[in-house]
């Protein structure tokens, strides 16, 4: 089929685009064209096997699937099974390792105390009261007003400065929507009902989602390079950056980006866990990932392991990873969303298209809702 023959055209093969392609092909039984500018499917969830060690890794950073949404869980389990992995995160501060999010173990270990769960709230309140903060409009002031200066300086300030490439005193409080902490020793990172890593990796899910012969995937193809060839009445589902769709006509949205450095280390286990944060500014990177821990059920080589060191970068025009939800960006995204609403047969959605940080289950849910509320309706009307 020619590009101009397709009535459904999707830009992007991440979860947003792949779930919608699967629904259109399997429920509507219609041909669908998926255009992907990268050389692989799966968007930022793409996984591959390192040829030197045989260890599977997530190219764009460690991804843990978790959800309490029954519909999403039932849907995705048609395309993969999950292992028993349970996520926990540790952080290194001044050479010592602590648990995250801040919990009773973190607090007791850091202050050399033996607080009980019912004493934590009052303790943090006293810590925060030492500063007497009335204006909580900055990220720093808000964080200190919640946990006090000592915990802030140890676990939040350095990491956030590296993460946002800005002094947290100059960051807006809206970036700190919540500061999770636990009053007990629970070290589970997620509270979701279901959790795991896909048994055969993420890329296998996308291969299954896109396996219907009605789906035509074209890699290394930028939507904007072929846009002129699309049928005038094609329904376009675009999951790339929102501002790019409108050629940045209202201005540019800002993104945070990441850079990873790979290293093969000649030991079986380098850090004993999949993700280690580094809280101090003196350490230039934010995290180290050791992907072998994501699949405890696999028997990987005992001779070596791979470690990815993650650096956070301010918006440098390269690959966009995270939206920066400050007041200006939120307002600008809202203006762009109005333009989307004015176009016929256009859906712009996903992490980049909605300009929202979505976890995978939220992206899948968004795609299922779009299919029910917009695509099926258009198809039957």
Ligand X SMILES: Cc1cc2nc3c(=O)[nH]c(=O)nc-3n(C[C@H](O)[C@H](O)[C@H](O)COP(=O)(O)OP(=O)(O)OC[C@H]3O[C@@H](n4cnc5c(N)ncnc54)[C@H](O)[C@@H]3O)c2cc1C
The Cα–Cα gap between 375 and 20 comes to 9
Q: Which of residues 54-113 bind ligand X (CB under 6 A)?
A: 60-61, 63-65
Identified binder of ligand X from the candidate list 7, 30, 31, 37, rule CB under 6 A: 37
User: Residues with Cβ < 8 Å from 154, sequence gap 6 or more?
Assistant: 93, 94, 110, 279
Q: Which is nearer to ligand X, 69 or 108 (CB)?
A: 69
Q: Which is nearer to ligand X, 89 or 214 (CB)?
A: 89
C-alpha closest to that of 206 among 10, 8, 15, 9:
15
Q: Two tokens at 93?
A: 């501060």
Choose, from 23, 182, 351, 366, the residue flagged as catalytic: 182
212 is catalytic: no
Choose, from 105, 256, 285, 322, the residue flagged as catalytic: 256
Q: How far is CA 374 from the centre of its chain?
A: 25
The Cα–Cα gap between 161 and 365 comes to 32
Q: Which is nearer to ligand X, 66 or 142 (CB)?
A: 66
- Smallest distance, Å, CB 345 to ligand X? 17
**Residue 227 binds ligand X, judged by CB under 6 A:** no
**Residue 360 binds ligand X, judged by CB under 6 A:** yes
290 is catalytic: no
For the chain, how big is the Rg over CA atoms in Å? 22
- Smallest distance, Å, CB 364 to ligand X? 8
Length of the chain: 381
Count residues near ligand X (CB under 6 A).
35
310 is catalytic: yes
C-alpha closest to that of 49 among 40, 335, 378, 80:
40
- Smallest distance, Å, CB 175 to ligand X? 16
SS3 216: strand
244 is catalytic: no
Instruction: Note if the bond before 306 is cis, omega within 30 degrees.
Output: no
**Residue 202 binds ligand X, judged by CB under 6 A:** no
Q: How far is CA 172 from the centre of its chain?
A: 21
Q: Which positions are annotated as active-site residues? A: 178, 182, 256, 287, 310, 357, 359
Binding site residues, ligand X, CB under 6 A: 11-17, 35-38, 43-45, 60-61, 63-65, 222-224, 239-240, 258, 321-322, 350-352, 358-361, 363
């Amino acid at each position: 089929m020619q590009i101009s023959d397709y009535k459904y055209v999707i830009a992007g093969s991440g979860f947003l685009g792949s779930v919608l392609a699967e629904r259109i092909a399997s429920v509507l039984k219609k041909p669908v064209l998926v255009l992907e500018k990268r050389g692989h499917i799966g968007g930022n969830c793409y996984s591959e096997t390192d040829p030197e060690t045989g260890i599977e890794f997530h190219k764009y950073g460690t991804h843990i699937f978790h959800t309490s949404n029954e519909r999403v869980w039932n849907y995705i389990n048609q395309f993969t099974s999950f292992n028993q992995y349970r996520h926990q995160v540790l952080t290194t501060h001044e050479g010592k390792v602590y648990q995250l999010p801040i919990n009773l173990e973190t607090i007791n270990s850091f202050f050399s105390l033996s607080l009980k769960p019912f004493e934590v709230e009052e303790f943090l309140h006293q810590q925060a009261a030492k500063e007497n903060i009335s204006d909580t409009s900055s990220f720093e002031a808000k964080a200190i007003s919640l946990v006090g200066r000592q915990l802030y300086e140890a676990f939040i300030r350095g990491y956030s400065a590296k993460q946002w490439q800005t002094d947290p005193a100059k960051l807006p409080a809206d970036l700190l929507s919540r500061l999770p902490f636990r009053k007990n020793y629970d070290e589970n990172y997620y509270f979701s009902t279901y959790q795991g890593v896909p048994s055969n990796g993420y890329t296998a899910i996308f291969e299954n989602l896109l396996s219907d012969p009605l789906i035509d995937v074209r890699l290394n193809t930028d939507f904007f390079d072929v846009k002129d060839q699309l049928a005038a009445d094609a329904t376009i589902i675009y999951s790339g950056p929102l501002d790019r769709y409108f050629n940045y006509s209202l201005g540019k949205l800002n993104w945070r980006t990441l850079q990873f450095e790979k290293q093969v280390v000649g030991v079986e286990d380098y850090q004993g866990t999949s993700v280690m944060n580094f809280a101090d500014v003196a350490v230039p990177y934010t995290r180290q990932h050791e992907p072998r821990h994501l699949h405890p059920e696999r028997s990987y080589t005992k001779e070596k392991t791979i470690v990815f060191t993650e650096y956070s970068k301010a918006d440098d025009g390269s690959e966009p990873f995270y939206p920066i939800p400050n007041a200006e960006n939120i307002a600008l995204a809202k203006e762009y969303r109005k333009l989307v609403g004015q176009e016929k047969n256009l859906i712009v959605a996903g992490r980049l298209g909605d300009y929202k940080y979505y976890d995978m289950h939220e992206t899948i849910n968004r795609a299922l809702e779009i299919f029910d509320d917009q695509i099926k309706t258009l198809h039957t009307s």
